[in-house]
Structure 1
Amino acid sequence: MTIVPRGLAPEEQRTGSPREVFLVFLRLGVTCFGGPVAHIGYFRDEFVVRRRWLNEHAYADLVGLPVGCVCIRRWPRGAAIAA
């Protein structure tokens, strides 16, 4: 699996091997603490800023749905907030 960012110049694009992607997720899952909102920040720092696998727009597209789902599960009226 290769993650290729959209909107970056070809010389700025980075790819991750399946092993590298797995190890990054493993490290973040073991060392990060906090709830889903905290993890979103950790993932952004790793994938957008540090490794440049994704750009800001692609990352926002990826995390838009899970944030709404977490809100709905935690609080019944969260559907109004997520909408």
Structure 2
Amino acid sequence: MKRVYTLKGLDCPNCSAKIEKEVGELDGVHSSSVNLMKQTLTVSISPNIASTIDVAKATKAIVMQNIVIALGIKSIFLILGA
């Protein structure tokens, strides 16, 4: 089963690569592919193992992790620059 998800506001190549890698490692996911230009995530899954909600939750967790790390690094440089 192939599903396509819209990733609104995705413009970071590093983030898209991490999303593609992490979602691809989920149980029941055969393959995942992020199209940065179309801002979509295409996932090929086993219909009886991985649900749409599991994939969406994992993708959101990865995005939130990237945001926290990016803000943390920026904060460190801001503090060190002052």
Q: Name the one with the larger strand percent.
A: 2
TM-score normalised according to structure 1 size: 0.34
Q: Name the one with the larger helix percent.
A: 1
TM-score normalised according to structure 2 size: 0.34
